[in-house]
Chains A and B, each alone.
Chain A
Amino acid sequence: MAQESLGLLQGTVDVLILRTLSWTAMHGYGIARWISDRSEGALSVEDAALYQALHRLERKGLVESEWGMSEKNHRAKYYTITPAGRRQLKAEVAELRQYMGALFRVLDTA
């Protein structure tokens, strides 16, 4: 089930979303497309996990949402990152970088 695989991915999905929104306000579909395009298809966030993460982040006050009009004039929900979200993104990226650095230092010497 989606849930089981999420446990591992959750933190990463959050960071990816925050990072995406740090460029501009976007709707959920846009975020999915953006991540997939940016990673050239390597990173594909499951849609269910993406929306769960968006609403969770909104509750935590890291993103805000607003209804607006999409490029093709459909009503869509746009997310923006909040100042708290930016702080969180910075902290998590730093932590991730540290973690990965340490991980690869070990892997590379092996």
Chain B
Amino acid sequence: MSGQPRARREFRFAWRTKRQVTNDVDAELAFHLARRIEELTESGLSLEDARRAAAERFGNLEYTRRYCRDEDVRRERETRHTTMIEELKHDLVYAVRALRSAPGFALVALLTLALGIGANTAIFSVVRGVLLSPLPFPEADRVIRIWHVNKAENDPKSQVSEPDFLEWKVASKRFASLAAYWYAPGGSGADLTGTGTPERIQGAYFTPGFFETLRPRAALGRTIRSEEAVVGNDHFVVLSDGLWRRRFGGDHTIIGRALTIDGIPYTVVGVMPPEFTFPADRIDFWMPLSNMGPDAIGRQRASRFLDVFGRLAPGATVAQAHDELAEISRQTAEREQEARGWTDVAMLPVREALTGEVRRPLLLLLGAVAFVLLITCVNIASLLLARATARQRELAVRSALGAGRGRILRQLVTESLVLALLGGAMGLALAYAGVKALGAIGAGELPRAAAIRIDATVLLYTLGVSTLAGLLFGLLPAIRATSRNLQGVLRAGSRGSVGNAGQHLRSALVVAEVALAVILVVGAGLATKSFARLLDVNPGFTARNVLAVRLGMHYEKYGDARIRDYYQLLLDRIAAVPGVEAVGAAKDFPLRGVGELRPPTVPASAGSTEGDRKIRLPVLHVSADYFRAMGIPLRAGRGFTAADREDAPPVWIVNEAFAKKYFPNESPVGKVLRMGPAAIQIIGVVGDFRQKSLSEPAEPTAYIHYPQNMRAGLSLAIRTTGDPLRYANAVREAIWSVDRDQTITSVEPLSAIVGGAVARPRLLASLLLLFGIMGLTLGALGIYGVLAYAVSQRRQEIGVRVALGASPRSVLRLVVGQGMGLAVAGVVAGIAGAFVLTRLMSAVLFEVQATDPATFALVVVVLLGAALIASWLPARRALRIDPVQALRYD
């Protein structure tokens, strides 16, 4: 019986597997039985008898085998757990102590991590809310938005006329159901009266099957059924959560009550939950389209006002559905004169249709913050490498005391993870503030902004990102720190041997850091330049000092006869307000709508072989003084006058783009267009101005004098002598002096509308710029850190050089040269990377190439400048080295 040296137990490397445990138990029991049989045969039994006796003596062998095995497996598991917990506890305590012993390092690392992780969390919560969170109706990926396409007229995404929609709805088999709605921001509104102050509310007017197709749940009451959306049985309305709370204080007794909308009572059947805001965030109500008669919205094929969507039939694919509707459209286009050219359809899943525009900018931002965090990680890895050199002795001591390489590795990685998780927690606090700010800025600019918040998924993401970051910056230095012969360190001199390899690795990291910063800053530079270009665009009108007022016209109240008088009286009263220089009205403000599409026939132009051309172009209704109020110049012919009445011959004014396209060699003034039975004369040409968006040049457009078409909402442009908002109250009073019940949809400076049009590019540019500055600062910090360390390590060498008479210049050149070498290498790599990556930005850039040489050049200068400063500071310290002291110092 030999006493076993207990120390051997400490050196068991791996834990036993279940198979090993079973083998051990079997071996133990086999040994026992063998001894017993041996004993019995020695006492005279035959081998056969001895075996039987031994087995009998043992008892239930099979049960014992299993019992012992199970006990051992349990013990293995329990000790493994306790050991791990013990070691983890130890590592955590040790990690916190190590961080506290290096407060400078911990502070820099934590702050940069908090910024990096915070930015990532904030942007991810936006991406999650807008792009990833589920839509508020079931199986949303089966719901498809559909547009009509006219390749001949270069119209890739048009709304659909009611006749076309009804044909699709009847014939389609690939869609389980199809529905449509009319919604126009600021256009599809109605007056809510009867309770409190009159208010213009925004709604969607839908065809039967709207709710059956989407299948959302009402928060209160129910949705409107198909049979409640037909003429004669359609005075029903569903309210949005926003309107219900704002206007009715969340009153549950609202269901079944009648609301007066545009002067007619509608029964409230339901209230939708806050997340259901289809088709737009700022929606107040949903109402059957049948309430909007054909005299309000035309139902002929030329009247394309419906947004169509459908739920795919079980098993049907988007491709099949597309082919089906395209085929129906082709047949209609052959049959019907008015449908000519409308031979195709475009489809997008409803989620992409809702968020398509912001998808790329958001993913771009997510990419940018990932870069920021990556730079942070490289920076911390570099700091850790420097620290590891200083900690070599400490690690060597631990190694000498019996800690294996894996154990020390685990210890170091635990330290990094503690750092990362602490940084992550701080980042979360930053992100919380950031998300609030982004939510406030994003409301109205981002679709589904209400869904942006920090929730469990975002928290999980933050945890994941923090852990990943910890591993990223912790593993490399930890592996390096444990790869050398630690015992040898103890025997080396009192100072930890520097290890040139460590410095090389740090240099490589700095190069990577600078390269990443270059890519980030180039992206920021491009977005900023694009934004500046957008601001520089001359919109063609003068927004300064113009007050923009939007009204809904009470057509039903005044009727055909009196509405013109009402309209004129409104304009006159506002014009009489002191300080108002001019008042104009149009159907839509620029950047807020494009008027209505009309299909006139344009006569042949001089010098052209083409004959009459049937075209489609947007037509905007304006009042006589609109161009003057907007500061849009008249280029030829005359403007509208009071004489251009509804009973006078129809006349149009066109813009320069129209003149250039259809009458390139002559003045269009005096030309006569035909539309149906009407002959329309062109009386004037005005300067181009951007109606659709700031980033697109004006398209050929015509203008009708208001009294010649009275069926539209009203946008008033009021030119004043100073800050337009100062006149807001006087203007309101002037409007109400005509009709107390006139609702006013909005009052804002025209410049705010222009500002709103660039809000998204502004947000993208400022966030990218912010991230770019973070990247730049971190990169400079990285260069500084490596050089400062190098200088401190090379004190003796520099001291010798100075003692031997080296000039301050040459010492400066030595240090700065090293720093700039790293920076140049990083810039070269970064420019190459940026050249490839910024192509992804092309789609969001306005009048700037993704490879814009000026931006690239500027970034190179800025980064090298930052690198120069980051190198200069340690170089100055090198200059102050006293050679005598440096040489004495060991």
Residue numbers of A with Cβ under 8 A of B are 1-3, 24-30, 32, 46-49, 51-52, 54-56, 58-59, 64, 66-71, 74-78, 80
Contacts and interface: CB of A to CB of B under 8 A. Distances in A.
A75 B27 contact: yes
A24 B3 CA distance: 8
Interface in B415-432: none
Contacts of A56: 71
B61 A48 contact: yes
Interface in B49-106: 57-61, 63-64, 67-68, 71-72, 74-75, 78
B1 A30 contact: yes
Contact of B68 (A24, A29, A52, A78): A52
B60 A58 contact: no
Given A46-B58, A55-B68, 6 more contacts: A25-B1, A26-B1, A47-B58, A48-B63, A51-B64, A80-B3
B28 interface: yes
Given A56-B71, A59-B72, A77 B24 contact: yes
A80 to B, nearest CB: 8
A78 B28 CA distance: 10
7 contacts: A2-B60, A24-B1, A27-B1, A59-B72, A66-B9, A69-B2, A77-B24
Given A28-B32, A59-B74, A66-B9, A51 B68 contact: yes
A52 B71 CA distance: 9
Contacts of B8: 66
Given A28-B32, A52-B68, A2 B63 contact: yes
Nearest to A25: B3
A67 B60 CA distance: 24
A7 B424 CA distance: 55
A77 B4 contact: no
B135 to A, nearest CB: 54
B59 A2 contact: yes
Given A49-B59, A51-B64, A69-B2, A27 B71 contact: no
A48 B28 contact: no
B-side interface size class: 20 to 34
B105 to A, nearest CB: 42
Q: Return the 4 tightest CB-CB contacts between A and B, nearest first.
A: A48-B59, A47-B58, A55-B71, A59-B75
B64 A78 contact: no
A77 B1 contact: no
A48 B64 contact: yes
A29 B32 contact: yes
Nearest to A27: B31
A91 B613 CA distance: 111
A29 B63 contact: no
Nearest to A59: B75
B4 A48 contact: no
A25 B4 CA distance: 8
A2 B8 CA distance: 36
B35 interface: yes
Contacts of A59: 71-72, 74-75, 78
Contact of B72 (A28, A55, A75): A55
Given A47-B58, A68-B2, A52 B24 contact: no
Nearest to B78: A59
A3 B67 CA distance: 11
B60 A1 contact: yes
B61 A71 contact: no
Contacts of B58: 46-48
B238 to A, nearest CB: 66
Interface string B205-240: 000000000000000000000000000000000000
A58 B63 contact: no
B615 interface: no
Contacts of A68: 2, 4
B31 A76 contact: yes
Nearest to B5: A66
Nearest to B65: A51
A28 B28 contact: yes
Contacts of B61: 48
A60 B31 CA distance: 24
Contacts of B74: 59
Contacts of B72: 55, 58-59
Nearest to A46: B59
A58 to B, nearest CB: 6
A54 B67 CA distance: 11
Contacts of A1: 60
A48 B31 CA distance: 14
Given A25-B4, A68-B4, A75-B31, A47 B59 contact: yes
Interface in B303-354: none
A49 to B, nearest CB: 7
Contacts of A29: 31-32, 35-36
A52 B67 contact: yes
A84 to B, nearest CB: 14
A58 B2 contact: no
Contacts of A67: 24
B31 A78 contact: no
Nearest to B72: A55
Contacts of B738: none
Contacts of A70: 31
B672 interface: no
Contacts of B2: 25, 68-69, 78
A80 B4 CA distance: 9
Contacts of A28: 28, 31-32
Contacts of B634: none
B29 interface: yes
A30 B72 CA distance: 21
B498 interface: no
B70 to A, nearest CB: 9
Contacts of B75: 58-59
A51 B29 contact: yes
Contacts of A52: 64, 67-68, 71
A60 to B, nearest CB: 9
B591 to A, nearest CB: 77
B34 interface: yes
**Residue of A27, A28, A29, A75 with most chain B CB atoms under a 10 A cut-off:** A29
A98 to B, nearest CB: 29
A28 B78 CA distance: 24
Nearest to A26: B1
Nearest to B29: A51
A58 B3 CA distance: 17
B32 A47 contact: yes
A50 to B, nearest CB: 9
Contacts of A54: 68
A6 to B, nearest CB: 9
B78 A64 contact: no
B60 A51 contact: no
Interface in B250-265: none
Nearest to B76: A59
A4 to B, nearest CB: 11
Contacts of A24: 1, 3
Nearest to B61: A48
Contacts of B71: 52, 55-56, 58-59
A66 B64 contact: no
Nearest to B12: A66
A54 B72 CA distance: 10
Nearest to B24: A77
Interface in B1-22: 1-4, 8-9
Contacts of B32: 27-29, 32, 47, 51
Given A66-B9, A69-B2, A78-B4, A55 B31 contact: no
B558 to A, nearest CB: 93
B75 to A, nearest CB: 4
